[in-house]
Amino acid sequence: MNLTFRGVRGSLPTPQANRLRYGGNTTCLEIGTPDPEQALLIDCGSGARELGDQLLAGAADKINILFTHFHWDHIQGLPYFAPLFNPRFEVVFWARRPEDELRRCLRIQMDHPFFPLPLDEVPARVQFRSVRSGEPFEAAGLRIECFPLCHPQGAAGYRLEGGAGAIVHASDHECGLQQDVDDGIRRAAQGARLLVMDAQYTPEEHAGKIGWGHSSFAHAAQIARDAGVERLALFHHDPAHDDDFLDAMLARAQEIFPFSIMARERETL
């Protein structure tokens, strides 16, 4: 099992030259699956556009998309995701919401007058699937379990298990506000090969942004250490942070958890 970062930025895309080393697209992760006929994504930010073009040339004809939540930076690539407009594909949307609510959330940005083609009229075969915390399900040959995160209007994290171990994704989340939710991330990440976690702020920045729904690199590094993960990828980069700033954040995170990396667009782990 592998993971390719297709978008690593939070809030909005940042196409400035001094932000392109780590990447300027908003969140989208591609998970390598044991089934070559199925693809699996987490979130569909602007980074999904390029991935969609590549999937057209691939072997997969069923695409599973797990949504953490529905803020714009996690869905804004969906109207430009090429497989939606090709009848070859079956696209299955998964989220910790009732199916009718999931459909409503994804339809909004493609409804009149925001987009010329409504989601209900795309050529792909579209399905909506609801998942529940603590109730594992299978998609694309992987065992998946979701868990709650602390974020305005709610969000979900995911633990994905294959033959080579587990990947855990926990973004968007703010540590320190709900101890039971923080503990739930530690349990979900226990022994994982890779933890991808919200690390948008420095500790100094976070002190002035309590309640905004994001963590500092120090929070993420501490949870990675507590959970005994093999590697931590700091994720959901603030649009105000350029590449040099992220380099400095990474160096400080590695003082807490030496096996930390900074998520980088197009990098495969």
pLDDT over threshold 90, residue 163: no
Euclidean distance between CA atoms 113 and 110, whole angstroms? 8
What is the total count of domains within the chain? 1
Closest of 132, 142, 124, 173 to residue 30, by C-alpha: 142
Euclidean distance between CA atoms 152 and 86, whole angstroms? 34
Q: How much is the average pLDDT of 195-223?
A: 98
Domain for residue 269, yes or no?
A: no
pLDDT value at residue 55: 97
Bridge partners of residue 62, in order along the sequence: 38, 90
pLDDT value at residue 164: 82
Q: How much is the average pLDDT of 200-217?
A: 98
> Could you tell me the CATH number of the domain that includes residue 100?
3.60.15.10
Domain for residue 267, yes or no?
A: no
Q: Which domain holds residue 28?
A: 3-262
pLDDT value at residue 1: 85
Domain for residue 97, yes or no?
A: yes
Q: How much is the average pLDDT of 60-65?
A: 98
pLDDT over threshold 90, residue 255: yes
Bridge partners of residue 260, in order along the sequence: 232
Domain for residue 117, yes or no?
A: yes
pLDDT value at residue 86: 98
pLDDT over threshold 90, residue 125: yes
Domain for residue 106, yes or no?
A: yes
Yes or no: say if 63 and 174 are a contact pair by the CB < 8 Å rule: no
Q: What is the pLDDT of residues 84-108, one digit of tens each?
A: 999 999 999 999 999 999 999 999 9
Query: How high is the mean pLDDT of the chain?
Result: 97
Q: Over pLDDT 70: what percentage of the chain? A: 100
Amino acid sitting at position 111: D
Euclidean distance between CA atoms 232 and 55, whole angstroms? 27
Q: Which SS3 state, helix, strand or coil, does residue 166 take?
A: strand
Domain for residue 268, yes or no?
A: no
pTM of the entire predicted model: 0.96
Domain for residue 78, yes or no?
A: yes
Domain for residue 29, yes or no?
A: yes
pLDDT value at residue 36: 92
